[in-house]
Amino acid sequence: MSEFSLYLLQQLINGLTIGSTYALIAIGYTMVYGIIGMINFAHGEIYMIGSYVTFIVIAGLVSMGMVSLPIILIIALVIAMFIASTYGWAVERVAYRPLRGSNRLIPLISAIGMSIFLQNSVGISQGFRDVALPPMISGGWAFGNPADFEVTVSYMQVVIFAVTFVTMTALTLFISKSRMGRACRACAEDLGMTNLLGINTNKVIALTFIIGAALAAIAGLLLGLYYGVVNPFVGFIAGLKAFTAAVLGGIGSIPGAVLGGLVLGVTEAMTAAFFPSEYKDVVAFGLLITILLFRPSGLLGKPEIEKV
Amino acid sequence: MTTSKFYNAIFAAGITLILACLMIGVKLDTSGTQLAIKGASAAQWTWIGGGIALVFLSQLFSGQIDSLFKSIPKPNITTMLPEEKKMATLKPWLIAGLIVIMVIWPFMVSRGSVDLATLTLIYIMLGLGLNIVVGLAGLLDLGFVAFYAVGAYTYALLSEYFGLSFWVCLPISAGAAALFGFVLGFPVLRLRGDYLAIVTLGFGEIIRILLNNWTNVTGGPSGISGIAKPTLFGLEFTRKAKGGEDAMTFHEYFNLDYSSSYKVIFLYLIAVLLVIFVIYLINRLMRMPIGRAWEALREDEIACRSLGLNKTAIKLSAFTIGASTAGFAGAFFSARQGFISPESFIFIESAIILAIVVLGGMGSQVGIILAAIIMTILPELAREFSEYRMLLFGLLMVLMMRWRPEGLIPMKRPQLELKQ
């Protein structure tokens, strides 16, 4: 293969890596939107908190003298998911549930307020500057001729793919097979009717926030380790990207969120291949605007019918 | 007090503990290349403990607290004001008096407070502009700062490259911002409310990134400096006239001693003029069919469409007029600062303007003016708490939505009640 196509292959791999973490965050947006029809603007902040908790737990365990990498990562993952889910639940309980049933803009403004609040409370308690973590998982495989261009797949990227794949499979099984999953689907279909049939919809909604937050925490751990830095503002852009991914795939649809995340990740990586990397955000938002104009229901979504 | 309430309170306190223990109780600390953690100070733990106790008690006594709040009589502003007929004759005098005070006031106070007042007036202008979009037309615009940036950069660039004066650029800036609003609004206004919020947010980011990276025109992150100040019919406010042989400065023309506070007061007066112009314009627009259509569309889109209103045209007009107000404010901002960079046009600015509109009461002009004054003056008074400023903004937005979504001073429509 030529040098150029190898370069593109490398960008594709990088794009899929980032894209799969976007997909994890996007699921949180899409599930909440599918059921209560609101944009959970503070979701990116939950991802940021997941990253911070990961860093704190890893630093704590390392300083306690633990050496086994898999055990450290698993403990960090469990604690990050637990804390982030608690945040997700608490945000819903405090800022969204009392506003349910009012004008659409009201919960959205409340969510923006919550997002600013979380960003700054983390900033005040943990500092506004970047916190860096030395790479935990290094190394990788290299393909191709070292003389002209080498395609590398790092172990970290493999971990990201594997974790994302396992998470997605578990989520799909949960949604399609379990009782609670069926309740979730029923709520997405018709919230009022589900309530009438004796299902505690408040519980289902709270559960969606918890699942979304837990997935965001997984993404927080993966991207935190991948980039090795975190600051209180990472959640804003990541949240915006993930929302773009959710809209791209068709908001309300879980497979759509995954597809949207991957498409967005690859598009960004390809843009970075040809243009200065600052422009990749421009392309991402440009893509969002274009999709909303020409196919507002997204790649896999169903068109929404407004009822009187 | 039932047992279930007690368990509930224990649960809430436990959740608070989980939320606080790792994120506040432990602090990340970089020592060399290694990441380390350190526990929070005793004072911080006292705060956490206090917070948990507060949550516990408020949950335990939630019923009593609610009834306490209900027993406080709500101040009814309408009864405090004189009767409507009296009000109608009083109003012009009131407004005239207010304007006179606003014009005389700067000559008696310090330079710093005049400067602060000018900043407040900029925020009032922005708040009023966003109010058209969010409050009247019900379109949530999270990228309002983009139009502000367009206005500011239009003046800065025109003045730098073509040497145009402030007064020429003011309408051009407003026009440029309106054009951007129109071009963005035309396609996206077909979208439903919350999509629109995200698209405008993305647009705001795009504008900021472009300004940051188009270095050979906008100067990139270092911005544009030395932007010309406004002049009074060609009279400059500098110590020495810059423009040509026969140019004169303000103090030479009027035979005054040079003082830098003339410039500050002059800028303040321009701001007052612009704000009065904007308020007048919006007030006229609100009473025109187009203004009524904005509000009708906000209340019920389907009903409006079935009455034959063109919803895209109506939304677009609100969006464009709101954007042009931001362009006005932007041009004035860059003239006042003399220096602009993309740093001044980040998302947080949009959020602050939105917070002003929300706090004041969506749609209510008096409320927004009051909110803008509170939001700009309070942070100045509490400088040592500047770290907590945005935290409080966020909290305030959540609390307002929960307990008083109509804002401090809710909008009052002129209405007529038929007596039986």
Q: How confident is the model at residue A54 (pLDDT cuts 50, 70, 90)?
A: very high
Produce one character per residue of A81-116: b if its CB has 16 or more CB atoms within 10 Å, e if not: bbbbbbbbbbbbeebbeebeeeeebbbbbbbbbbbb
Q: Estimate the crossing angle of helix B261-287 against helix B111-130, to 10 degrees.
A: 20
- Both B179 and B305 in one domain: the answer is yes
Q: Is the pLDDT of residue B129 over 60?
A: yes
Structure confidence at residue B402 (pLDDT): 83
pLDDT of residue A304: 61
Across the interface, whether the CB atoms of A125 and B24 are under 8 A apart is answered yes
Of residues B94 and B148, more confidence is placed in B148
Region A209-224: what's the mean pLDDT?
Answer: 94
Residue B264: the pLDDT is 82
- CB count in 10 Å sphere of residue A165: 11
Contact status of A281 with chain B (Cβ, < 8 Å): yes
Burial class of residue B76, CB neighbours in 10 A (0-12, 13-18, 19+):
exposed
- Pairwise CA distance, residues B291 & A207, whole Å: 43
pLDDT of residue A272: 84
Q: Of B24, B206, B405, which has the smallest distance from its Cβ to A106's Cβ?
A: B405
Instruction: Give the pLDDT confidence score for residue A19 in this predicted structure.
Output: 92
B301 lies in a domain?
yes
Distance in angstroms (rounded) separating the CA atoms of residues B376 and B372: 6
The reply to whether B193 touches chain A by the CB within 8 Å rule is yes
Residues in B touching A127 (Cβ below 8 Å): 27-28
Q: Complex ipTM above 0.90?
A: no
A209–chain B Cβ distance below 8 A for any pair: no
> Is residue B236 domain-resident?
no
The average pLDDT across A17-23 equals: 92
Contacts by residues B117-120 (CB-CB < 8 Å, ≥ 24 positions apart): B117/B268, B117/B271, B118/B264, B118/B267, B118/B268, B118/B271, B118/B336, B119/B376, B120/B372, B120/B373, B120/B376, B120/B377
Token digits of residue A51: 């990253």
| pLDDT tens per residue across span A132-151 | 888 888 787 887 766 667 78
The pLDDT score that the predictor gives to residue B262 is 76
At A89, which helix (H) or strand (E)? helix A69-91
Cα A10 to the center of its chain, rounded Å: 23
B194 touches chain A (CB under 8 A): yes
- Does residue B416 belong to any structural domain of this protein? no
The phi-psi region of residue A252 (left if phi > 0; otherwise alpha if psi is between -120 and 50; otherwise beta) is left
Of the candidate ranges A45-49, B171-175, B185-189, B413-417, the one whose mean pLDDT is the lowest? B413-417
- CA A202 to chain B, closest CA, distance in angstroms equals 16
- What's the helix, strand, coil split of chain B in %, to 5? 75, 5, 25
Shared-domain flag, residues B140 and B63 = no
Q: What integer is the mean pLDDT of B276-293?
A: 90
Q: Are A261 and A27 in contact (CB under 8 A)?
A: no
Least CB-CB distance to A63: which of B15, B36, B390? B36
Percent of chain A with pLDDT over 90: 39
Domain contains B414: no
**Contact call for residues A106 and A230 (beta carbons, < 8 A):** no
Structure tokens at B368: 């927004």
Does B44 fall in a domain?
A: yes
A95, A244, A281: residue with CB nearest B398? A95
CA distance A24 to A214: 9
Amino acid at B150: V
- Mean pLDDT rounded to a whole number for chain A: 87
Query: Can you tell me the distance from the alpha carbon of B24 to that of B44, in angstroms, rounded to the nearest whole number?
Result: 8
Q: d(Cα A47, Cα A45) in Å, to the nearest integer?
A: 5
| Bigger pLDDT: B75 vs A193 | A193
Which residue type does A146 have? P
pLDDT computed for residue B253 by the predictor? 66
Looking at residue B59, what is its pLDDT?
A: 81
Closest chain B C-alpha to A99 CA, distance in angstroms: 6
Among candidates B246, B247, B243, B282, which has minimal Cα distance to B133? B282
pLDDT band at B123 (very low <50, low <70, confident <90, very high): very high
- Rounded to the nearest angstrom, the minimum Cα separation between B299 and chain A is 10
Q: Do A49 and B23 lie within an 8 Å CB cutoff?
A: yes
Mutation for testing the B interface, residue in A49, A289, A308 having most B CBs under 10 Å: A289
* DSSP helix/strand/coil, A199: coil
* Residue-range definition of the domain harbouring residue B388: 93-229+261-403
The whole-number average pLDDT for the span B46-56 is 85
- pLDDT at residue A52, rounded to an integer: 92
- Kindly tell me if the per-residue pLDDT of B321 is higher than 90: yes
Same domain, B337 and B284: yes
Give me the CATH number covering residue B294. Answer: 1.10.3470
Q: Output the pLDDT for position B322.
A: 93
Beta-carbon neighbour count of residue A158 at 10 Å?
Answer: 14
DSSP B39: E
Asked whether residue B62 falls in the same domain as residue B99, the answer is no
pLDDT tens sequence across A246-295: 888 888 888 889 999 999 999 988 888 888 777 888 888 888 888 877 87
Domain boundaries, chain A: 20-128+201-294
Check residue B74 and give its pLDDT. 62
Task: Return the pLDDT at A50.
Answer: 94
Give the count of domains, chain B: 2
Q: How confident is the model at residue B362 (pLDDT cuts 50, 70, 90)?
A: confident
| Any B CB within 8 A of A253 CB | no
Of residues A202 and B73, the one with the higher pLDDT is: A202
Instruction: Say if B295 is an interface residue toward chain A (CB within 8 Å).
Output: no
- Note the pLDDT of residue A307: 52
Q: Is residue B317 part of a domain?
A: yes
Mean pLDDT, residues B183-187 taken together: 85
- Portion 159-188 of B in contact with A at CB < 8 A: 187-188
Q: Which residues does chain B have within 8 Å of residue A87's beta carbon, measured at their own beta carbons? A: 19
The shortest C-alpha distance from B323 to chain A (Å) reads 19
Q: Which tokens belong to B166?
A: 């402030």
Same domain, B205 and B273: yes
B-chain CB neighbours of A103 within 8 Å are 405
